[in-house]
């Protein structure tokens, strides 16, 4: 499923349980049409993550989420090798390895013969896909949510920018992996720190503020069907006063 126009985005997101403003619907449509990531900024609790979930529901796509935090690195975001599994397989085929090197006359020759088999141990069966690689490797289009990207280190932001530029990653042992299907990407930020200009230029920008009172009432009625009007009004007024 694809969005046809801005009105289609509004109706699709509403059907998915999210009431978007015209601005939100326009940005989502432009991002889908241009295949550019959306950088969604705004205070906590305004529905940035919920927007990603609603987009996934409306497009009938799986949602892949990468939760960012300080110290997040490539191994947790992209991929890592399952060393325990590699070691187990090594033990299982030890006899076969002995056969391979049995004809070696020197230690160097034996090492070379073992090295020639390294592709067997650095293959897809031993790689653990993390969210970014999952999104790129998926045969079906997905929605990729990079949540709270502002909490990650600037070094990770630079690494992420490389992936978002071409939607491909380089794995030294396996080569370059290009996206089978371009994912719909959303990055959320609570303005914990300023994002780089390079990342902002790569994305379509969307700022979501707290909704107007009428919109909040509509949201409550959508989430709690049948709620009494007075109770709904009192609830929204109390939340706005506390905020």
Structure confidence by residue, pLDDT tens digits, 176-228: 888 999 999 999 999 888 888 888 999 999 999 999 999 999 999 988 999 99
Count of CB atoms situated within 10 Å of the CB of 146: 27
204 near 34, Cβ under 8 Å?
yes
Distance CA 101, CA 2 (A): 56
In a 10 Å sphere around its CB, with 0-12 CB exposed, 13-18 middle and 19+ buried, how is residue 36 labelled? Answer: middle
Most confident segment among 65-79, 86-100, 121-135: 65-79
In this predicted structure, the answer to whether residue 42 has a pLDDT above a threshold of 70 is: yes
| Cβ proximity of 143 and 183 under 8 Å | yes
Residue 172: what pLDDT? 73
3-state helix/strand/coil string of the chain: CCCCCHHHHHHHHHHCCCCCCHHHHHHHHHHHHHCCCEEEECCCCCCHHHHHHHHHHHHCCEEEEEECCCCCCHHHHCEEECHHHHHHHHHHCHHHHHHHHCCCCCHHHHHHHHHCCHHHCCCHHHEEECHHHHHHHCCCCEEEEEECHHHCCHHHHHHHHHHHHHCEEEECCCEEEECCCCCEEEEEECCCCCCCHHHHHHCEEEECCCCCHHHHHHHHHHHCCCCCHHHHHHHHHHHHHHC
User: Model-level pTM?
Assistant: 0.81
Q: Which of 25-34, 169-178, 218-227 has the highest mean pLDDT?
A: 25-34
What the block records as the tokens of 119 is 């592709």
Partners of 129 in beta bridges = 79
pLDDT above 60 (res 111): no
């Amino acid at each position: 499923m694809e969005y046809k126009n801005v009105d289609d985005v509004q109706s699709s997101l509403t059907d998915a349980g999210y009431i978007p403003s015209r601005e939100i619907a326009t940005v989502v449509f432009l991002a889908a049409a241009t295949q550019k990531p959306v950088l969604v900024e705004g205070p906590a609790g305004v529905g940035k993550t919920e927007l990603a979930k609603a987009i996934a529901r409306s497009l009938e796509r799986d949602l892949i989420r990468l939760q960012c935090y300080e110290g997040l690195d490539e191994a947790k975001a992209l991929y890592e090798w399952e060393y325990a599994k590699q070691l187990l397989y090594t033990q299982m085929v030890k006899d076969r390895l002995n056969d391979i090197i049995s004809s070696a006359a020197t230690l160097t020759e034996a090492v070379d013969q073992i090295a020639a088999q390294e592709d067997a141990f650095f293959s897809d069966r031993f790689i653990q896909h993390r969210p970014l690689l999952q999104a790129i490797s998926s045969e079906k289009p997905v929605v990729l949510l990079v949540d709270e990207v502002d909490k990650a280190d600037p070094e990770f932001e630079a690494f992420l920018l490389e992936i978002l530029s071409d939607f491909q990653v380089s794995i030294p042992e396996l080569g370059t992996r290009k996206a089978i299907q371009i994912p719909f990407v959303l990055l959320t930020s609570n303005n914990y720190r300023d994002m780089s200009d390079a990342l902002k230029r790569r994305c379509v920008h969307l700022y979501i503020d707290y909704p107007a009172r009428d919109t909040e009432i509509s949201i409550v009625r959508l989430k709690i069907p049948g709620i009494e009007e007075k109770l709904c009004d009192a609830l929204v007024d109390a939340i706005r006063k506390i905020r």
